[in-house]
A and B are shown apart, each in its own frame.
Chain A
Amino acid sequence: MSERERALLAVSGLIVRYGRIAAVRGVDLEIRAGEIVSIVGPNGAGKTSLLSAIFGVIPSAGGDVRFAGDRLAGVALEALVGKGIAFVPEGRRIFASLTVAENLALGATVRRDNGQVHADRERLFATFPILAARRRQPAGLLSGGEQQQLAIARALLSRPKLLMLDEPSLGLAPAIIDQVYGLLRGIRAEGVTILLVEQNAERAFALSDRAYVMRGGEFVLNGAPKALSADPRFDAAYFGIGMSGASP
């Protein structure tokens, strides 16, 4: 009971199906406020499906998701951000034809404290100077790394309690990935809880308090990153050596 209450996000028995194929086969996950938790695993392990189903972007075929104790089933997609969950989906999904400033304004859609939004935006501009410099430009003209910064900044403008990110390093140069991860470290310092999905386990481990290793739609290992890296089963889970788990 007390364990459940302390969890900011609690997922139990979550199942996602595409037709007959189960992409996520009954996953349990808990995140306490202030933690950074990552889900790593090879391509096709079901990580993106899991994250999308937690947020309700795709329907789940079974299981339960609770945020701060409230069930999320039946909550409209557009109401989640008001509850304090922000989602940076795979591929960043910035609005390419809108300006950087307009993208950021949409991040604050559910907020009514306009003065504070303005102050938050100025603070984000200090953190992301490139966004300040390009605020009047269409976001489609930004580079991949800049778009990722914009997607994260946009999500932060809703002042989330929980930030969920899907593959923030995807398609970015190593130097840019450093920058993005440096930024996530800074976000954690402000007390935002982070759930991160990554194929790049090394990067994710360096940032996370705990990690889950996903393969074939299931969690096969979990624990502290250091312990996981040292665990011989980790490489097996990641690269499929001696494992029978099917990958869709």
Chain B
Amino acid sequence: MSQPILQTLADALSVGGLYALTALGIGLIFGIMRLINFAHGELIAIAGYTLLALFGMPPAAAIVAAAAAAMLLALVTERLAFRPLRGADPATLLIASFAVSFFLQKTLILFVGARPKGIDFLPLLGRQVDALGVRLRSLEIVAIAVSAILLAALSWFLKATRFGLEMRAAAEDFTMARVLGVRANRVIATAFAISGLLAATVSCLVVAETGVVQPRMGLQLTIIAFVGTVIGGLGSLAGAALGGFLVGAATILLQALLPPDLRAFREAFLFLAVTLVLVLRPRGLIPARGLRERI
């Protein structure tokens, strides 16, 4: 295959992977709590600023710290904001997540300012490497590999462990899972911790790619990934990953395939495609089971 085609394909795979991870982080929480967590973007931002704060330390240490920060923030928002609202109407939860998102974003701006800050994180990943006879940036290969590994690990966790089984049961029918003795607090806290971990992973890849951190860096990702969870089928984890991937990959492919005059309207075409999917499959590509009103 020729260089531009493979290059575009690698772009689509790596960006699709980022959105799949983000959509999965959002879908995991929605599946269990019926909460659409718009504060997911701030988890990405806090991980980015942790990388910035620890710049100069070994990258591995900075990455671990970024993951810890995002997981901790996720757990704190769950404990302080979302736990008291558990069982509330989804609209209430949605508004609460906007409130948490704004609060965290403005707090971040208060401490670090609103302007983007440059950070040369993992510069080695910007290098070109020869792969399959074409030149690709190593960051793309890393992004694709990390996304694939994390998706595989998460699906193993959900399929093969006791914790994962309890999470899948809770996602389908939370009340019945509790009737059988599944502990609500533990399952929800685990889901938030995992979504923090996913956000931190996405953050590291985005920061390495763009070389910039800013308080609103997670917003665009979160909104597009949310669209991904909707077309994938709200409440279905496989659907979230697939939907996120498709939306991310579609952005890149539209960018490459649209005539130059129309590229500025890329998002319009993207949302046209999303609308089409929803007209044809209103419950998403992989509909969730048991998405019923809970008592």
Contacts and interface: CB of A to CB of B under 8 A. Distances in A.
A95 B169 contact: yes
Interface stretch (A52-60, A169-177, A218-226, A230-238): A52-60
A98 B181 contact: no
A121 interface: no
B172 A105 contact: no
B180 A154 contact: yes
Interface stretch (A23-31, A34-42, A75-83, A125-133): A75-83
18 contacts: A57-B175, A57-B295, A78-B184, A81-B180, A93-B176, A93-B179, A95-B172, A95-B176, A96-B172, A96-B289, A96-B290, A98-B169, A105-B162, A105-B165, A106-B177, A106-B180, A140-B289, A158-B180
Interface of B is mostly: helix
A109 interface: yes
Nearest to A110: B181
Contacts of B165: 98, 102, 105-106
Contacts of B176: 89, 93, 95
A222 B224 CA distance: 61
Interface string B262-291: 000000000000000000000000000110
Contact of B173 (A58, A93, A109): A93
A87 interface: yes
For chain B, which range describes its interface: under 10, 10 to 19, 20 to 34, or 35 or more residues?
20 to 34
Contacts of A87: 179
In the complex, which of the residues B162, B177, B178 has the most CB atoms of chain A within 10 Å of its own CB atom?
B178
A75 to B, nearest CB: 12
Contact of B166 (A58, A77, A89, A106): A106
A58 B179 CA distance: 12
A12 interface: no
Contacts of B295: 52, 57-58
In the complex, which of the residues B168, B173, B181 has the most CB atoms of chain A within 10 Å of its own CB atom?
B181
Given A102-B165, A106-B169, A109-B166, A95 B290 contact: yes
Interface string B153-171: 0000000001001101100
For chain A, which range describes its interface: under 10, 10 to 19, 20 to 34, or 35 or more residues?
20 to 34
A56 B14 CA distance: 48
A36 to B, nearest CB: 21
B213 to A, nearest CB: 39
A140 B181 CA distance: 21
In order of increasing CB-CB distance, the 10 nearest A-B pairs are A109-B181, A110-B181, A81-B181, A93-B176, A78-B178, A97-B289, A77-B178, A96-B289, A95-B172, A106-B180
Nearest to B175: A57
A93 B176 CA distance: 7
Nearest to A96: B289
Contacts of A46: none
A89 B180 CA distance: 11
A107 interface: yes
A98 B172 contact: yes
Contacts of A80: 179
A140 B287 CA distance: 14
B130 to A, nearest CB: 44
Given A52-B295, A57-B295, A77 B175 contact: yes
Nearest to B236: A97
Contacts of B183: 78
A101 B178 CA distance: 18
Interface in A123-166: 140, 154, 158
A76 B184 CA distance: 10
B78 to A, nearest CB: 17
B190 to A, nearest CB: 15
Given A58-B295, A102-B165, A106-B165, A95 B182 contact: no
Contacts of A102: 165, 168-169
A77 B183 CA distance: 9
B165 to A, nearest CB: 6
Contact of B182 (A55, A98, A106, A154): A106
A96 B288 CA distance: 10
A164 to B, nearest CB: 10
A80 B182 CA distance: 11
Contacts of A76: 178, 184
B141 to A, nearest CB: 34
Given A81-B181, A93-B179, 15 more contacts: A52-B295, A57-B175, A77-B184, A81-B179, A87-B179, A95-B168, A95-B169, A95-B290, A96-B172, A96-B289, A98-B168, A98-B169, A102-B165, A105-B162, A109-B166
In the complex, which of the residues B172, B177, B180, B184 has the most CB atoms of chain A within 10 Å of its own CB atom?
B180
Nearest to B294: A57
Interface string A108-127: 01100000000000000000
A110 B181 CA distance: 6
Nearest to A155: B180
